[in-house]
Amino acid sequence: MAAAQARRIPLEGLDPPGEAGRLDPGDAFTALVTLCEKGGRRSQWLLYLEALPASPKQPAAKSPKPMVIYSWRSNKLEYASTPAQVRLRTLGPFAGTGAKREKLEDHSVSFSLDKGFLGLGLEVGAATIYRSEQQKAKGFLWFGSELPTAAQAAEGRHLAEVLEVTPAEERAVGGMFPALLSYFQVVQHTQGLEAMMLRVIDKPSLWSVVRHLGVSVNLVLDSEHLSPVDTALWPSLARPSAYYFPMLMELNHRPALRATFVVTNPRPPLLSCGGVIGMLAERPGDKETFLTLRIISARRAASL
């Protein structure tokens, strides 16, 4: 808290939702990352991400091509890409109980995130998939970079009719892919987070690497355990609904990491994190080794 106050990094306050898709210079969020390891060791980091004004010295960049995804109905869905400049500050580690005290580091990096993709969010798509699981409908909502086969389209159309999926819900489920890609882009720029995650991931054995000629990575949505969040447990959320969004990462076809995201509407000031307000990353079979990320402050520039 003292380190954050000295650097004017807010540690509390979540503003009411603003205009959808809007990211103004000065919009910012603070996240707390906690790494727990065997023996009760605990270390923490602060992340502070702030939207920047467009640089007058930089020439206007050409608009990127939209991402194109085809749905089970053979519909072509286009998602506009809208870059925005941000600065991400990583402060830590702060040593807790049992952890070795390390030199406090303060890193800043500026980069371009995709506010168009992040603004799609995961909440509506999660709600649609949850409804599918609750109705125990057979089949799955198919999406891909190419048109589905006739058999896939027929199965998908039947499932969509059973679930009464609206065009808006169809677009929301497809939009989960660019939203997730853009969220992981923000994670990728977090100084030291890759090293933290490597301490949680159950890495494959040397024999597995040799047998598979390297490491194959597969991300799977655990739709069976996707469920609504009791928002009473998140009093600062100020959102009517949220979902637990669990995923499994497999390395060489073996479970290596379980990640559960807490997702809500990505309207500002939660646009730059794609509406992801929390994450739990666990090593399979090891209850002592895990990492959490939690949004503890999110403010719109207009309210400051």
pLDDT digits (tens, 9 = 90+) for 217-267: 777 888 888 999 987 777 666 677 899 999 988 877 788 889 999 999 999
How would you classify the pairing of strands 276-283 and 28-37? Answer: unpaired
In-domain check, residue 13: no
Please report the pLDDT score of residue 207 as a whole number.
Answer: 53
Question: For residue 170, what is the enclosing H or E element?
Answer: helix 167-188
In-domain check, residue 40: yes
In-domain check, residue 149: yes
Q: d(Cα 282, Cα 167) in Å, to the nearest integer?
A: 35
Quote the number of domains for the chain: 1
The total of other beta-carbon atoms located within 10 Å of residue 58's CB is 8
Q: pTM score, two decimals?
A: 0.86
In-domain check, residue 19: no
Contact 86, 49 (CB under 8 A): yes
In-domain check, residue 15: no
In-domain check, residue 135: yes
Closest CA to 182 of 236, 116, 118, 88: 118
In-domain check, residue 1: no
Residue 84: band (very low, low, confident or very high) from pLDDT cuts 50, 70, 90: very high
Q: Could you tell me the residue range of the domain that residue 188 belongs to?
A: 25-303
Q: d(Cα 298, Cα 275) in Å, to the nearest integer?
A: 11
